[in-house]
Amino acid sequence: MYPNRFDYESPTTVEEAIAILDRSGGEAKVLSGGQSLIPMLKLRFAAPATIVDINNIPGLDYHHVDDEGNLHIGALCRHVDLEESTTLADTHPTLAAAAELVADPIVRTRGTFVGSVCHADPQGDWAATMLAQGGYVVAQGPNGRRRIDMGDFVLGPFVTALAYNEMAVEAVIPGASGTPRGSYLKLERRVGDFATASVAVSLDMDGDVIRKAGCALAGVGGRTIDANDAISCLVGKTLTEDSIDQASDAVAAVAEPRTDHRGSDAYKRHIVQTFVKRILTNLARTEQKAA
């Protein structure tokens, strides 16, 4: 299978990339890891006039935590960089748990975090982790940078709030003010398949009391499901059998699964409930051991 013809540009600075996007008038597409875009080009679901390959722009492959605990992920940070990170599990455990579940190991050597978020697939893993943790995208255009909260970033399947002349230069995921706890669970038929259902849970703990709770779901709706309100019933509480049951029921209630070849809607909702319960129960056990 072959993509349509396109003009290929390989800028070496972000400014140059933005100038090309600006000139293209909306007919250009940014290529980072290409693990979603190239298949879409080959299937001709996408046929941009110009491809702006950002892989030759130096200095975008970083991920680091700043003084305030916020994690910054550059546009060329690959999934494997996060998977192999030795510090991520301490500062952002939800992301660390998701890192090894994104696609398959070979795709992870090439695909990027920011590219995956910009692809805006309703089944994307990273979008769910971003939403559960109040993450945002930093977009740069001809007039400078702006911050787009994850909740506002995706307008629909494969559509984002980025203007045609803007490039997502980094993603930022706030850190916890207390102890960060969280995880990500995903049910897939085989490695690399789209999620049947997946759940991201992120907690900010003060001792054994939950200060903040975040949750988002993938694979169980036409978009990444924001379950932050649903899981907020945990705030101010400790992880007990009752609070865990209440939270997993509340989160399962906001899922919007549809019956398809991966399972019935009732099955997928059950998976969501089970995953929330499993994540929280495991975290409660860890807390008990630590105490």
Partner 1 sequence: MTSLYDEVQTPTDGVPTRRVTMTVNGEKRTVDVEPRLLLAHLLRQGMQLTGTHVGCDTTSCGACTVLFDGRPVKSCTMLAVQADGHDVETVEGMSSASELHPVQEGFKQEHGLQCGYCTPGMMLTSKALLERNPDPSEDDIRWALSGNLCRCTGYQNIVKSVLWAAEKMRAERGEDA
Let me know how long the chain is.
291
Q: Helix (H, G, I), strand (E, B), or coil: what is residue 220?
A: coil
Minimum gap (Å) between residue 152 Cβ and partner 1: 30
Candidate residues 155, 191, 209, 235; the one interacting with partner 1 per rule CB under 8 A? 191
- The one among 16, 22, 104, 265 contacting partner 1 by CB under 8 A: 104
Instruction: For partner 1, give the closer residue by CB, 41 or 137.
Output: 41
Q: Is 106 exposed, middle or buried (0-12, 13-18, 19+ CB in 10 A)?
A: exposed
194/267 with CB nearer partner 1: 194
- Binding status of residue 83 toward partner 1 by CB under 8 A: no
- Rounded Cα–Cα distance for residues 62 and 197 (Å): 30
Q: Tell me the residue ranges of DSSP E strands in the chain.
A: 7-9, 28-31, 50-53, 63-65, 71-74, 136-141, 144-149, 154-156, 159-160, 167-173, 179-187, 197-206, 209-218, 225-226
Nearer to partner 1, 36 or 133 (CB): 36
Piece of 60-68, 105-113, 141-149, 257-265 that binds partner 1 (CB under 8 A) = 105-113
**3 state DSSP class of 43:** coil
Which of 57, 77, 82, 107 is close enough to bind partner 1 by CB under 8 A? 107
Token pair 């943790």: residue? 133
Owner of token pair 């992870």: 108
55 binds partner 1 (CB under 8 A): yes
Q: How far is the CB of 136 from partner 1 (least distance, A)?
A: 29
Q: Which is nearer to partner 1, 31 or 215 (CB)?
A: 31
State the number of binding residues for partner 1 (CB under 8 A).
29
Locate 44 and state its tokens: 């001709």
Rounded CA separation 167/236 (Å): 39
* Residue 44 binding partner 1, by CB under 8 A: no
Binding mask 208-237 for partner 1 (x = CB under 8 A): ------------------------------
Interaction residues for partner 1, span 3-42 (CB under 8 A): 3-8, 10, 34-35, 38-39, 41-42
Strand 28-31 and strand 50-53: pairing? Answer: parallel
Interface residues toward partner 1, by CB under 8 A: 1-8, 10, 34-35, 38-39, 41-43, 51, 53, 55, 80, 103-107, 109-110, 191-192
